[in-house]
Structure 1
Amino acid sequence: MLRKLLTGIVFSAGAALASNVALADGFTLKDKPKIAMLDFGPKNDGGWGQSFDEARQKMEAALGQKIMFVESIPEDASAIDPVVERFISRGANIIIGTAFGYSDAFKALAAKHPDVAFLNGSGTTNASNLESFYGRTYESQYLCGMAAASVSKTGKLGFVAANPFGVVNWTINAYELGARKINPNATLTVVYTGAWNDPVKERAAAMALIDHGADVIGQHVDTPTPQVVAQERGVYGTGHHRDLSEFAPKATVCSSVWVWDKFLVPEIKKIEAGNWKPSPYGAFIEMKDGGTDISPLGAAVPEDKKKLILAERDAILHGKQIYAGPLSDRDGKLRVPAGQVLSDADLWKMDWFVTGVITQK
């Protein structure tokens, strides 16, 4: 989702988030956990919002309790505050948000309700009872890039992206690095739509990429439109947020999918256990801890390539770093020296591209 995300994302600055965090004593609930969730989007949006709703249902089964839930809550304190206050009045003591734009409201609410734990997906604020979290999507998009190159006949890949922010650029670069693991000559042409959710612009971008020779379409936008266009035009694609083969079963060969429950269930159990100490910089979740993963690979991916992709997935689960040096950008500038790994701060502010990525001028 990450709608307005990252006009100077605070995660990258790190220390700026620590000022309101007290780590001397951990947070402990006074009563048994009672959970509520606010979803930014509709629960059936096919993307970001639905990924959280599906996680909620899995969490209910894993935690043995119903989770109070409301959908389509806009990123405005005047909408957020009354909903949270109502949940708290009904006994909720763990509140889960799902939007960057909830960040300031959640910070204020956490200060007002020090006995309540707050978690916020794609947020940027943290406190002794508030933790924002987001996944390292470049890990799963790297694998999607491998799948894309595995089914491409031309080595010309296309990518429909929302905005040139760090969290989008890191998926683009990882996608190309994955593609080049399969085909060292693969290229990735990117079109930015300037919007997280604009099916009209996404359709136009996907059509243009295919018209210029791309035979696989990747994406970091909220709707399944690029996959739908890929299927209409007889090419392949890879999805984002959820398994988008639901919308384009013939085209979609891989999707980067959120697996929020794999992070939230253990995190809620930590809160329940007491002495919970949120990260002062938020939780930046690796694949092994439940950030993102990939959907089952499509039938079009050759079996030998599936084995390679799954081997790389296993390597990531065991610590493989996508942005390990030596790594230079497409202009030849060394970005990561040999023996080093790109820092989280540099990931968040990524404004450069690896060899093979072609962007708009």
Structure 2
Amino acid sequence: MSLPTKAVALAAASAVAWSSVALTASALADVFKIDGPPKVAIILFGPKNDGGWSQAFEEARPELEKIIGAKIPVVEKVPEDSSAITPPAERFIQRGYNVIIGTAFGYSDTFKKLSEEHPKVAFLDASGITNGPNLESFYGRTYESQYLCGMAAAAASKTGKLGFVAANPLPVVNWTINAYEMGAKAINPDATLTVVFTGAWNDPVKERAATTALIDQGADVIGQHVDTPTPQIVAQERGVYGTGHHRDLAEFAPKATQCSSVWTWAKFLGPTLESIKAGTWAPSPYGAFPGIKQGGTDIACCGSAVSEDNKKKILAARQDIIDGKNAIFVGPLADRDGKERIAAGATLSDADLWKMDWFIPGVISQK
């Protein structure tokens, strides 16, 4: 993903972008058409076998290749710097590739510039915040899948004391933490969630230290919003349970991992590429924000520590989310300081989601 300073910038910029959605939601996007059949290339922020964020895109690639009927080349380990992003993008374009997929917030400005310089090329950027006539950023409603993993965490816990290893306290992480605790309370109303922020998306050393500290403090299930499987590995080493993020982390800790929030990018990008191929793609001026139904995230669930009865409850809750019967952030809801955040009968707007800087009761974290 990105460095802490860029993460803070993401929070601010995203809040502005989604505030615009709330103010001008009636605006319509124009259809964009590429010349010829789609030739797709992917630029990955991390290594394609990182076990998390980048690997989730790599694993979606074969399905996308079937959809467009062509191989999709990949460049990996491209940092969030214009001098690193531009050369591979330009090489692809010079070779006739007309759909470029990026995978980092820090690509936002560079992709915007490239899209303006190459108006006949389609650009897509995961976790980006810039958009245009031929550019669409996209991210998933991770709070949906993490709510369900929170249910699994409480179901597996014997003490009701849950731990969570997170990167940075920005909105996309805060809504994950809040939803996780809300899901946990749906199983155990007395469940608490202690959070440790590492200050980095990918730092196994800090993640190990944070996980160890949480377990030492009594947490018997560890959730996460960081890029490596380290929290799950440590949970298994210490004989407790956990829930993963990005991919099914039972691959790394089969005894510990009871649920994972997993990206389902083929489900979202597949129809997007099909619409580009058909000449009907209309990139949203505010970006795409898919949920479980549209292919943002989903869950891999459940492990042996989750009873069959609780598994049925989790899957029923998943179906409610898909059917629109559970928007999760519905009022009345106050934060842990007693301030009303969502009025009775109201649902939190996307604009307010992207500005989330508060936690619900039961979340214990650095203030």
Structure 2 counterparts to residues 16-55 of structure 1, below 5 A? 25-55=30-60
- Matching of residue 14 in structure 1 with residue 17 in structure 2: yes
Q: Structure 1 residues 15, 304: closer, same or farther in 2, change over 3 A?
A: closer
Q: Is the 8 A contact 2:333 2:341 kept in 1?
A: yes
Structure 2 counterparts to residues 179-328 of structure 1, below 5 A? 179-319=184-324, 320-328=326-334
Q: Is the 8 A contact 1:218 1:238 kept in 2?
A: yes
CA–CA distance in 2 between the matches of 1:152 and 1:24? 47
C-alpha displacement at 1:276, in angstroms? 2.3
Q: Is the 8 A contact 2:61 2:72 kept in 1?
A: yes
- Matching of residue 331 in structure 1 with residue 333 in structure 2: no
Q: Is the 8 A contact 2:18 2:350 kept in 1?
A: no
Q: Is the 8 A contact 2:196 2:366 kept in 1?
A: yes
CA–CA distance in 1 between the matches of 2:310 and 2:272? 35
C-alpha displacement at 1:331, in angstroms? 1.6
C-alpha displacement at 1:339, in angstroms? 1.4
SS of the equivalent of 2:86 reads helix
Q: Is the 8 A contact 1:10 1:16 kept in 2?
A: no
- Of 112, 125, 130, 1:125 maps to 130
TM-score (norm 2): 0.95
Point out the more displaced range, 72-81 or 8-17.
8-17
- Write the deviation string for residues 214-264 of structure 1: whole angstroms up to 9, x where unpaired: 000000011111001100000000000000011100000000000111100
SS of the equivalent of 1:248 reads coil
CA–CA distance in 1 between the matches of 2:8 and 2:274? 30
CA–CA distance in 2 between the matches of 1:261 and 1:23? 25
Which residue identity lines up with residue 13 of structure 1 in the other structure? V
Q: Structure 1 residues 215, 110: closer, same or farther in 2, change over 3 A?
A: same
Find the counterpart in structure 2 of residue 342 from structure 1: 348
Q: Is the 8 A contact 1:17 1:126 kept in 2?
A: no
C-alpha displacement at 1:133, in angstroms? 0.2
Find the counterpart in structure 1 of residue 99 from structure 2: 94
CA–CA distance in 1 between the matches of 2:12 and 2:269? 22
C-alpha displacement at 1:153, in angstroms? 0.4
Q: Is the 8 A contact 1:165 1:350 kept in 2?
A: yes
Aligned residues: 359
CA–CA distance in 2 between the matches of 1:150 and 1:105? 44
Q: Structure 1 residues 195, 67: closer, same or farther in 2, change over 3 A?
A: same
Q: Is the 8 A contact 2:17 2:129 kept in 1?
A: no
TM-score (norm 1): 0.96
- Matching of residue 152 in structure 1 with residue 157 in structure 2: yes
Q: Is the 8 A contact 1:11 1:282 kept in 2?
A: no
Which residue identity lines up with residue 343 of structure 2 in the other structure? P
- Write the deviation string for residues 276-323 of structure 1: whole angstroms up to 9, x where unpaired: 221111101111000000013112210000000000000001112010
C-alpha displacement at 1:193, in angstroms? 0.6
CA–CA distance in 2 between the matches of 1:235 and 1:16? 41
C-alpha displacement at 1:275, in angstroms? 4.1
C-alpha displacement at 1:12, in angstroms? 2.2
Find the counterpart in structure 1 of residue 361 from structure 2: 355
C-alpha displacement at 1:343, in angstroms? 1.1
Q: Structure 1 residues 42, 275: closer, same or farther in 2, change over 3 A?
A: same
C-alpha displacement at 1:24, in angstroms? 6.9
Which residue identity lines up with residue 363 of structure 2 in the other structure? V
C-alpha displacement at 1:9, in angstroms? 3.7
Which residue identity lines up with residue 222 of structure 1 in the other structure? D
Instruction: Work out the percentage of aligned pairs sharing the same amino acid.
Output: 69
CA–CA distance in 2 between the matches of 1:23 and 1:340? 25
Find the counterpart in structure 2 of residue 5 from structure 1: 7
Which residue identity lines up with residue 86 of structure 1 in the other structure? R
Point out the more displaced range, 8-17 or 51-60.
8-17
- Of 140, 145, 149, 1:140 maps to 145
C-alpha displacement at 1:191, in angstroms? 0.5
C-alpha displacement at 1:74, in angstroms? 1.1
- Matching of residue 115 in structure 1 with residue 115 in structure 2: no
CA RMSD of aligned residues (A): 1.6
Find the counterpart in structure 2 of residue 65 from structure 1: 70
Q: Is the 8 A contact 2:18 2:351 kept in 1?
A: no
CA–CA distance in 2 between the matches of 1:275 and 1:267? 9
C-alpha displacement at 1:40, in angstroms? 0.7
Aligned structure 1 segments of 4 or more residues deviating by more than 6 angstroms: 15-19
- Write the deviation string for residues 125-144 of structure 1: whole angstroms up to 9, x where unpaired: 00000000000100000000
CA–CA distance in 1 between the matches of 2:351 and 2:295? 21
Gaps of 5+ in 1: none
Q: Is the 8 A contact 2:19 2:351 kept in 1?
A: no
CA–CA distance in 1 between the matches of 2:145 and 2:188? 18
